[in-house]
């Protein structure tokens, strides 16, 4: 079959709205990194999305004199209100109505144990079918696949949602809903990232990020509608060929067609939250600065990534202080390093931060001065970017996270 398979972004837009997570394999496709972490996040996200929709529905019904009841055919006004409410998600595939509390409690997708067992079965079957379809050889000893001379790694996307049981045309009956778990598998396009210390000596490419756009509506839930919301932050000139297929690692382009590894979101105060697919960190102190190194990263208004979990654990183990607050413009100005993290990138150093939307929060007359009164712009070019060299603390954290893979991987 010469047809190009759909990537996970397209699949998430073709399936009903729900909670999703994107994890990856390690050790030649035989283990899943931070599997338990992903399962817990999937279940918690599903619950958060269901309760959010129910709460919004109750508020909408109250505003038109209703009582938060389920939408029935005998009220066109309530039906229109419900349709408007569901349409706010910007998701092309909408659920027919908001579920009641009883129906939510009957769903298994909010149950971590159910998610764990079903996800493993679903991943095993999908991975086996994928390898058979694309001629990859299953390894008997490790359970992974062999792609040419190198062991392949996979990106695995899970979607937990709910679908109606019973005849599809039986609208008036009190139908029940069932939990559904979808799995999508694709080859993980890596930047030759290895878990060996030898790979750490290679000179990295120049990594640029752009500060642009505001944070998610519900950052605690990994909602499939975010796939569409995220697309709005990517300029129209960006094509599919300009980005990697996996939604955990891609290169975005501005209208100028200069590539950015990631887009960093800000809050209403101009503080830095996270990337569209990554978590964001600033390294303060260390190197030639007098203070010891510390890490600054947001703790609210963000999605907690699985690699972020490893980063924070490594910092605790090696006694590196972590300030759980969103980094600011001033933090960027005095930083000794910046990095991002995700399941495909692990820990990736950032060499240039393009200030973008952050410039609107700055005073044009706010320029740092030396003791002799001469104006300077530290790590800054044309007032639009900050540049960073190699950061020892970032490299240490990168190494520690790669070492963490061994103890945080679940056999498939």
| Count of CA atoms in the C-beta half-sphere (13 A) of 213 | 20
Residue range 136-192, pLDDT digits in tens? 865 544 445 554 435 789 999 999 999 887 665 555 545 578 899 999 999 987 555
- The whole-number average pLDDT for the span 29-34 is 93
Question: How high is the pLDDT of residue 256?
Answer: 42
Percent of the chain predicted with pLDDT > 90: 43
Residue range 96-131, pLDDT digits in tens? 678 888 888 888 989 999 999 999 999 999 999 998
To the nearest 10°, report the CA torsion of 276, 313, 155, 223.
Answer: -40
- The whole-number average pLDDT for the span 23-31 is 91
pTM listed for this prediction: 0.79
Query: At 361, is the pLDDT very low, low, confident or very high (cuts 50, 70, 90)?
Result: confident
Residue with tokens 């980063």: 311
76-80, 129-133, 216-220: least confidently modelled range:
76-80
Q: Which of 127, 162, 202 has its CA nearest to residue 54?
A: 162
Are 94 and 17 in contact, with CB atoms under 8 Å apart? yes
Concatenating the DSSP letter of every residue in 96-154 gives: SSPPPHHHHHH-STT-HHHHHHHHHHHHHHHHHHHHHHTTPEEPTTTS-EEETTEE--E
H-state helical runs in 262-409: 306-317, 329-333, 392-407
Residue 84 has pLDDT above 50, yes or no: no
Residue range 263-288, pLDDT digits in tens? 999 999 999 999 999 999 999 987 66
């Amino acid at each position: 079959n010469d047809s190009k398979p759909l990537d996970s972004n397209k699949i998430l837009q073709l399936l009903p709205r729900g909670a999703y997570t994107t994890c990856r394999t390690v050790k030649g496709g035989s283990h899943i990194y931070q599997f338990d972490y992903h399962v817990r996040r999937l279940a918690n996200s599903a619950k958060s999305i269901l309760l959010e929709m129910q709460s919004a529905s109750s508020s909408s019904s109250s505003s038109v004199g209703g009582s938060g009841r389920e939408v029935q055919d005998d009220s066109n006004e309530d039906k229109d209100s419900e349709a408007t409410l569901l349409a706010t998600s910007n998701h092309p595939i909408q659920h027919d109505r908001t579920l009641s509390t009883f129906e939510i409690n009957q769903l298994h997708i909010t149950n971590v144990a159910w998610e764990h067992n079903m996800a493993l079965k679903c991943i095993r079957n999908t991975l086996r079918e994928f390898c058979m379809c694309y001629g990859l050889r299953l390894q008997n000893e490790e359970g992974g696949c062999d792609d040419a001379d190198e062991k392949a790694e996979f990106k695995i996307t899970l979607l937990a949602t709910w679908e109606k049981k019973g005849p599809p045309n039986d609208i008036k009956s009190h139908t029940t809903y069932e939990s559904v778990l979808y799995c999508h598998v694709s080859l993980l396009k890596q930047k030759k990232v290895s878990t060996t210390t030898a790979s750490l000596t290679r000179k990295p490419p120049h990594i640029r990020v752009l500060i642009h756009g505001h944070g998610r509506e519900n950052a605690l839930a990994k909602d499939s509608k975010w796939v569409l919301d995220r697309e709005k932050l990517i300029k129209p000139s960006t094509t599919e060929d300009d980005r990697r297929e996996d939604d955990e690692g891609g290169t975005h382009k501005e209208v100028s067609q200069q590539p950015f590894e990631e887009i960093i979101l800000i809050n209403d105060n101009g503080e830095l939250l996270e990337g569209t697919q990554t978590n964001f960190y600033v390294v303060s102190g260390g190197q030639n600065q007098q203070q010891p190194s510390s890490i600054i990263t947001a703790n609210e208004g963000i999605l907690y990534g699985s690699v972020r979990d490893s980063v924070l654990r490594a910092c605790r183990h090696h006694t590196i202080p972590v300030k759980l607050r969103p980094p600011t413009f001033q933090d960027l100005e005095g930083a000794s390093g910046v990095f991002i993290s995700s399941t495909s990138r692990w820990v990736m150093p950032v060499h240039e931060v393009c200030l973008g939307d952050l410039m609107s929060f700055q005073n044009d007359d706010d320029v740092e001065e030396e003791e002799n009164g001469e104006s300077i712009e530290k790590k800054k070019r044309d007032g639009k970017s900050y540049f960073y060299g190699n950061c020892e603390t970032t490299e240490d954290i990168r190494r520690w996270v790669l070492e963490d893979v061994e103890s945080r991987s679940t056999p498939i």
